[in-house]
Structure 1
Amino acid sequence: MATYLYKLGRFAFRRRGLVALLWVVLLGVAGAAAASAPAATATSFSIPGTEAQKAFDLLEDRFPGTKADGATARVVFKAPGGEKITDPQNKADIRRVVTELKSSSDQVARVADPFTAKAVSKDGSTAYVSVSYDVSSMELTDDTRTALEKTGEKARDSGLTVETGGDALTAVPKTGAGEVIGVGVAAVVLVITFGSLVAAGLPLLTALIGVGIGVSAITALASVLDLGSTTSILAMMIGLAVGIDYALFVLSRYRAELAEGRAREEAAGRAVGTAGSAVVFAGLTVIIALVGLAVVNIPMLTKMGVAAAGTVAVAVLVALTLVPALMGFAGKRVLGRKARKALPEDATDSGGKENAGTRWARFVQRRPVAVLLAGVLGLGVIAVPATSLELGLPDDGSQPTSTTQRKAYDLLSDGFGPGFNGPLMVAVDAQGSDNPQAAVDRTVREISRLDGITATTPPKFNKAGDTAMVTVVPDSKPSSVRTEELVHSIRDTGADLRAGTGAHVLVTGSTAMNIDVSQKLNDALLPYLALVVGLAFLLLMVVFRSVLVPLKAALGFLLSVVAALGAVVAVFQWGWLGDLFGVEQTGPVMSMMPIFMVGVVFGLAMDYEVFLVTRMREAYVHGESADEAVVTGFRHGARVVTAAAVIMIAVFAGFIGSSEAMVKMIGFGLAVAVFFDAFVVRMTLAPAVLSLLGRRAWSLPRWLARVLPDVDIEGDKLRDPGHGTPVPEQSVAESAPAESDSRVTTGR
């Protein structure tokens, strides 16, 4: 692989004009496709195999035209103190709102009068107007959404308390200025790392081009593939981080090759052949982990993973081709002025005096047991909150208390009971019964006797009379354990009655769907974790030709992931430091967040493992002792890995300012996970473990050595004379082209 990438790097460097032009054209085509593509619709949230999804599909089939997936809104009214909502004046004001809502948009399907629909609380203080739309929430036009909001605002002039809830107010999530700050931090880190504005700008430019292509492609295909807006945000988050890091590693190795006196084209080829090999492997692990999310069998999660994986693939290709091409344009300006003047004495790359990485490695080697215990115990303590992990999906109850959605949620809870915001839809399929009417009546009667129910509506039959819908209102809030137990009780009761009635009972609705999603993801988390950890172990055995190094890497990955989950629970579920991170409302952790974070962190953890440890193995196989190999790896790689980790943390942390709760939570979780994995696991625990293992770390049974392929990720084959000579063909200053270098314009 190193030999092929070496040739690719030299080609991209030599034909830099052509390569750069191709990427610019590709960016333009992707941008044009995105601009002309129809707007994305709402992501179809289906959970194959769950009872809630089966019930939803059944109702769609038996009750056609109900627009079960259409947007809904509830305009909630509360009378002033001492008044009733049914007072003549209040009643007239509310019916005026009903009339206005009916004519507010062509997308409105129906508006229910609360006084005929029995949507008034028992104490007469609260009522609500239900609004149904023909389209999903993401297909609502801005005019429709604005009309709904203005109607509610205008109704307040009557003296009533008026708040609006429901998914009709769901807007496209916004990320704010946080990610811009993250990119700014990345730029500062790159300038400090390279000492050159040109070198600092190159990874940023290539990463933005890669993300631009990836996100534009997602936008162009969003309508066709049913991709939601969150998909592109997450792809941008991951693509930007890995894009900067992959370019950083290739550019850093290129500068190191220049420091050894190689000609620029030769240095570019070797940089792509060595660091590029690590980029390919690291990118492959991220892609496999993201695509592997498909095993959970949740279409939305699969699409998010595949879209993000596509953006990562683009980032890898950019690092292997566009980065060496731009290095050719940059000439010797990839080095700072001082570095260009003092190139022969470059201590960082040539191994002269000890740098910070060398000093840190020797510090850890002097006291490996103490460092290992401190790191493991520290992460273990942070991981403790993960034992209280609760999964769920957001509703209006998880909105900040300042929003009208949350205020409407609280008004309904106070006026109609805590379970009113999460009613259960019970579908009774009596098609196989001899007497469907009697079967449904008996089923509803038995369900009504269960504990935990506030109200049960009369059954509503379809035209064929063989299927009925029943709404059950729990006496507990949607996200509570008591509501979850009620769902299971209804299902168990239906199963017990089926033999006698012939009716099949299914429970659906947003609350039941949330419960089923959380359960499915809970069940899938450990198998998926085992899959990615097992995959990491196998791939690292191929890369490092060792058993203990992959084992150490896999265990370290588990430790960093669990610690990151503990931090997420502490902040978003318990509310610790919530004000610092903009968490206005605590609640269960998003159901998809842990498994998505596992997939992403797996790939990122392997990035640092590969980039740091390959240098160690390279030194060891060329004669250095096990301890000195660790020091050599840190001397060459610590500064770059530190910069890469800081950049990723900054980029991910920038998404904490998102208005989308899941994006905010994933941004925080990934930032924390990168910090733990890079600075605690890879740069602290790893050298401690390798020091304790000594030569045993790099041993491999002979029979396994014969079976495993040799991918040459360190680029050993490039040391052969046929792939260039380490003796410089000309100095860096001589090889750097002048501004009028003909190769820049001709592509030769």
Structure 2
Amino acid sequence: MTEHSPPADQPASTPGPLGRLAGLAFRRRGRVVLAWIVAIAAAVGLSSAFGGDFAADYSAPGSDSKQAQDLLNDRFPAFAGDTVDVVIQADDVTAPDVQADVTALLGELVAAEHVAAADDPYAQPGAISEDGRILSAQLRLTYDNGANVPLEDSEHLLELAEGAERPGLEVALGGMSIEFAEQDEIGSEGIAMVAAAIILLFTFGSVVAAGLPLLVALAGLGVSAMLTGVIAALIDVPDWSTALATMLGIALGIDYVLLMVTRFREWRAVGLDPERATIATLDTAGRAVLVAGTTVVVSMLGLFAMGLSFMRGAAVVTIVAVFIVMAAATTLFPAILGYLGRHVDRLRLPRGRGRRAALVAEGGHVEPSRGWLWWGRLVDRHSVIGTVVGVAVLLALAAPFLGARFGFPDAGNALEDKSVRQAYDMKAEGFGAGSNGPLLMVADMSAAEDAEALNRVLDDVARTPGVAAVTPAMLNDTGDTAVFTVVPTTGPQDPATEELVHVLRDDTLPDVAAAAGVDVYVGGVTAMSIDGTDNVVDRIPVLIGGVVVLSMLLLLVAFRSVIIPITAALMNLLSVAAAYGVVALALDGGWFGQLIGIESATPMPAFIPVLIFAVLFGLSMDYEVFLISRMRESWVRTGDNARAIVDGLAGTGRVITAAAAIMVAVFAAFIPSDEVFLKVIGVGMAAAIFIDATVVRMMLVPAVMHLFGRYNWWLPVSWERRLPQLHVEGRPDVHMPAPERRLEPVG
């Protein structure tokens, strides 16, 4: 291969800002690499010095359950803390030896860190089942949210419970804090990196080329992962957001550098030296990376529209990870090319030796794979069939979402070997299904008309259909707040329980409040889950509308086209709908759900569609930018729409396929998780990315664009001067080497 430099009488055209940045990083590569090492060390230091604990508030702002919790915090702090259920099963829980063991265990549990108090089940009415075989007591914690309890404290409680078991005496603990403590680490990040390495080796056939995306992704991960603790010190960040941000950062970092390594090799194939090839790569593919990363950030910003603190925390952590990935791709990557650019095809695998010969120059441009050219022309010839088939496949996959049931999975959906599941089953057996979803009623007595007002409230609530039992009320020291528990006849996930909550709030309690001057709020975990679900579902249209509009505006400016943003938005929405359908099918608990460890029908957490939409819409736009930028590059060069579509598809088909395979592997690493919502995020995202990269990007997008013809690139004349020129496709022609001149013999 001949390396070309600009002839003396033909100075190289000035590259854009990204190209100049790439040239600077290439020439001063030592300083850039050192700066990234310092950045990682600084992030580690900041995290160690200022890192905060994870925290999350899953309550719905302004909801009835939130008001109940706030009232407890202000007036009745003894009942404001989260609880842990202690459930014991024996032949006779009232036997003296069993009673002695239970009393000793409760004493040890109360002495544990962050346990404020414990009920005495032998003095508490209704704490022993009618057959005398099951006993239930509650530990009240100093934390008002079980998700925030330190993991080691919950693990200590589990150890105490396990140590109290003996033949004939079973002990199980339930509650949110215990559920978090029993979640197993699966090493998702390690699985993802190994899978990505294998795919990259298969794609490039070279150890050096495959290692470049991994190096950049690991550097970005080193900074963003450490900064998560610093962010947690400033705002509430749920613990699961780290897994989401890490996996998205790994996937994006690898995908972006995969695109640029591919383009770098193409520039080398047409004869550019390593430095000029690096500049040309950032000046073309680098622009697409910045636009693609911006679409991901726009999608994640949509989570702020949900008005939920834990969503904001997850969004901030993820956005920081994306920005760091973009910074690594545009600075660290060209610096590493300064060391390894000449050797990008070294350490080739045996299967990849013939691939380099396929990279031949034709008219100054690298000829793409013949297989992708054949596929592009096939889609061109059958564009109507491709459109119909693509839409039909997506709608069929989306269909199960029509029967989706929103709600929060609980301990009843946990694996049978978990303590929380055993406690759930024992309580249901001894006290009825509703015992696992009690409603915590908080009464404001400050305006009560007489001392009997509270009794009238209890009587009216007890007569409400769907109520199995009402516990006696407990007053605080000042007598202005009362707490009592309502046990439904149905389980926490049963639609009848949700109906009971609405009946109590809309019918029973308003009538009582008007007559007795007592304001009663329905709170507790079950009511909080119902309120949180309703709140999120109501806000989903705001999220979707805002993200779609902003993404369309970005694509309008990037590609200077009206049709492309509209079709991209519609197709991305179809991809999201298909992902929702796959998730709904998994949660149904049938054969597909059992394949991934979901053993029974499980409700869909309302924030799952929100997260899937935000992440998938951004990633889908990534692939759209990769594909359309190469199409526009060909369109600007040739003015032929059909050729532009075929060239773009052939030029990016291999990259998008490899990128999608990496994304699928990364998100599939979530599936072994014990957390249902991480599991369904994994299966939903993995399926959706596979569908998006195959059915949508490789068939539906080019098929629809063939149908629109030259209208794909139409922009009203009045908009031409108003819209800025981003040149997302770059200016590849200015980087092409000048043709070699032949010297004619004299005389």
| TM-score in terms of structure 1 length | 0.91
Counterpart among 558, 561, 566 of residue 576 in structure 2: 561
Q: 1:221-269 CA distances to partner (integer Å, 9 max, x unpaired)?
A: 4344332321211110111111111111122222222222223222211
Cross-structure match for 2:487? 473
Cross-structure match for 2:73? 60
- 1:615·1:636 contact (CA, 8 Å) conserved in 2? yes
Is residue 488 of structure 1 aligned with residue 513 of structure 2? no
How much is the aligned-residue C-alpha RMSD, in angstroms?
A: 2.5
Higher alpha-carbon deviation: 461-470 or 289-298: 461-470
> Aligned-pair distance for 1:41?
4.3
> Aligned-pair distance for 1:661?
2.3
**2: CA distance, partners of 1:436 / 1:19:** 75
Cross-structure match for 2:204? 194
Cross-structure match for 2:31? 18
> Aligned-pair distance for 1:340?
10
Q: 1:478 to 1:192 in 2, by over 3 A?
A: same
**2: CA distance, partners of 1:667 / 1:729:** 53
User: What amino acid does structure 2 have at the position aligned with 1:657?
Assistant: P
**1: CA distance, partners of 2:150 / 2:630:** 55
Cross-structure match for 2:606? 591
Query: Where do 1:408-419 residues align within 5 Å?
Result: 408-419=423-434
Q: 1:110-142 CA distances to partner (integer Å, 9 max, x unpaired)?
A: 222210123111232211232233346466566
SS in 1 for 2:726: coil
SS in 1 for 2:218: helix
Q: 1:354 to 1:204 in 2, by over 3 A?
A: closer
**2: CA distance, partners of 1:144 / 1:709:** 56
Is residue 447 of structure 1 aligned with residue 473 of structure 2? no
Higher alpha-carbon deviation: 639-648 or 368-377: 368-377
SS in 1 for 2:472: coil
Kindly, what percent of the aligned residue pairs are identical?
Answer: 39
**1: CA distance, partners of 2:308 / 2:148:** 22
Is residue 618 of structure 1 aligned with residue 633 of structure 2? yes
Cross-structure match for 2:85? 74
Is residue 304 of structure 1 aligned with residue 291 of structure 2? no
- 1:347·1:353 contact (CA, 8 Å) conserved in 2? no
SS in 2 for 1:131: strand
Q: 1:349 to 1:363 in 2, by over 3 A?
A: farther
> Aligned-pair distance for 1:11?
1.1
Is residue 345 of structure 1 aligned with residue 354 of structure 2? no
Higher alpha-carbon deviation: 31-40 or 448-457: 31-40
Q: 1:550 to 1:106 in 2, by over 3 A?
A: closer
> Aligned-pair distance for 1:662?
1.9
Q: 1:707-729 CA distances to partner (integer Å, 9 max, x unpaired)?
A: 3222111113x655xxx663289
Q: 1:34-88 CA distances to partner (integer Å, 9 max, x unpaired)?
A: 345556244333421222112211111111x326234x322212223xxx32233
**2: CA distance, partners of 1:161 / 1:175:** 26
User: What amino acid does structure 2 have at the position aligned with 1:614?
Assistant: S
Counterpart among 89, 97, 114 of residue 107 in structure 1: 114
Cross-structure match for 1:381? 396
Q: 1:707 to 1:687 in 2, by over 3 A?
A: same
SS in 1 for 2:330: helix
Cross-structure match for 2:56? 43
> Aligned-pair distance for 1:341?
7.6
**2: CA distance, partners of 1:52 / 1:244:** 43
Q: 1:446-495 CA distances to partner (integer Å, 9 max, x unpaired)?
A: 22211000111222222332222221111100011100011111111223
**2: CA distance, partners of 1:2 / 1:480:** 63
> Aligned-pair distance for 1:26?
0.4
Is residue 710 of structure 1 aligned with residue 717 of structure 2? no
User: What amino acid does structure 1 have at the position aligned with 2:498?
Assistant: E
Cross-structure match for 2:6? none
Is residue 130 of structure 1 aligned with residue 144 of structure 2? no
> Aligned-pair distance for 1:628?
0.8
Is residue 331 of structure 1 aligned with residue 346 of structure 2? no
**1: CA distance, partners of 2:464 / 2:151:** 43
**2: CA distance, partners of 1:191 / 1:545:** 36
Counterpart among 679, 688, 697 of residue 664 in structure 1: 679
Counterpart among 242, 245, 270 of residue 260 in structure 1: 270
**1: CA distance, partners of 2:295 / 2:197:** 26
Q: 1:524-548 CA distances to partner (integer Å, 9 max, x unpaired)?
A: 1122112222222221111111111
Cross-structure match for 2:3? none
Residue-pair matches, total: 719
- 2:154·2:177 contact (CA, 8 Å) conserved in 1? yes
User: What amino acid does structure 2 have at the position aligned with 1:193?
Assistant: T
> Aligned-pair distance for 1:658?
2.0
SS in 2 for 1:700: coil
Is residue 287 of structure 1 aligned with residue 301 of structure 2? no
Higher alpha-carbon deviation: 574-583 or 276-285: 574-583
Query: Where do 1:152-301 residues align within 5 Å?
Result: 152-169=161-178, 170-171=180-181, 173-301=183-311
> Aligned-pair distance for 1:350?
4.1
- 1:175·1:657 contact (CA, 8 Å) conserved in 2? no
| TM-score in terms of structure 2 length | 0.91
Counterpart among 574, 585, 592 of residue 589 in structure 2: 574
Counterpart among 723, 726, 731 of residue 737 in structure 2: 726
Q: 1:488-534 CA distances to partner (integer Å, 9 max, x unpaired)?
A: 11111223444333332211110000001111111111221122222
**2: CA distance, partners of 1:697 / 1:681:** 17
User: What amino acid does structure 2 have at the position aligned with 1:448?
Assistant: A
SS in 2 for 1:392: coil
Q: 1:171 to 1:635 in 2, by over 3 A?
A: same
Q: 1:662-717 CA distances to partner (integer Å, 9 max, x unpaired)?
A: 2222122111111111111111101111111111111112123333222111113x
> Aligned-pair distance for 1:313?
0.7
Q: 1:411 to 1:252 in 2, by over 3 A?
A: same
SS in 2 for 1:578: helix
- 1:2·1:274 contact (CA, 8 Å) conserved in 2? no
Cross-structure match for 1:606? 621
**2: CA distance, partners of 1:34 / 1:172:** 26
Q: 1:140 to 1:506 in 2, by over 3 A?
A: closer
SS in 1 for 2:123: coil
> Aligned-pair distance for 1:144?
4.2
Cross-structure match for 2:16? 3
- 2:575·2:696 contact (CA, 8 Å) conserved in 1? yes
Cross-structure match for 1:740? none
User: What amino acid does structure 2 have at the position aligned with 1:123?
Assistant: D
Cross-structure match for 2:5? none
- 1:437·1:466 contact (CA, 8 Å) conserved in 2? no
SS in 2 for 1:579: helix
Cross-structure match for 2:375? 360
Unaligned runs of 5+ in 2: 1-13, 742-747
Q: 1:382 to 1:353 in 2, by over 3 A?
A: closer
**1: CA distance, partners of 2:219 / 2:368:** 38
Q: 1:621 to 1:126 in 2, by over 3 A?
A: same
**1: CA distance, partners of 2:408 / 2:191:** 29
Q: 1:470 to 1:688 in 2, by over 3 A?
A: same
**2: CA distance, partners of 1:494 / 1:344:** 75
Higher alpha-carbon deviation: 267-276 or 318-327: 267-276
Cross-structure match for 2:102? 94
Q: 1:2-46 CA distances to partner (integer Å, 9 max, x unpaired)?
A: 811111111111111111110111011112333455562443334
**2: CA distance, partners of 1:140 / 1:234:** 21
Q: 1:88-108 CA distances to partner (integer Å, 9 max, x unpaired)?
A: 3333332233333344x2433
User: What amino acid does structure 2 have at the position aligned with 1:685?
Assistant: L
User: What amino acid does structure 2 have at the position aligned with 1:49?
Assistant: G
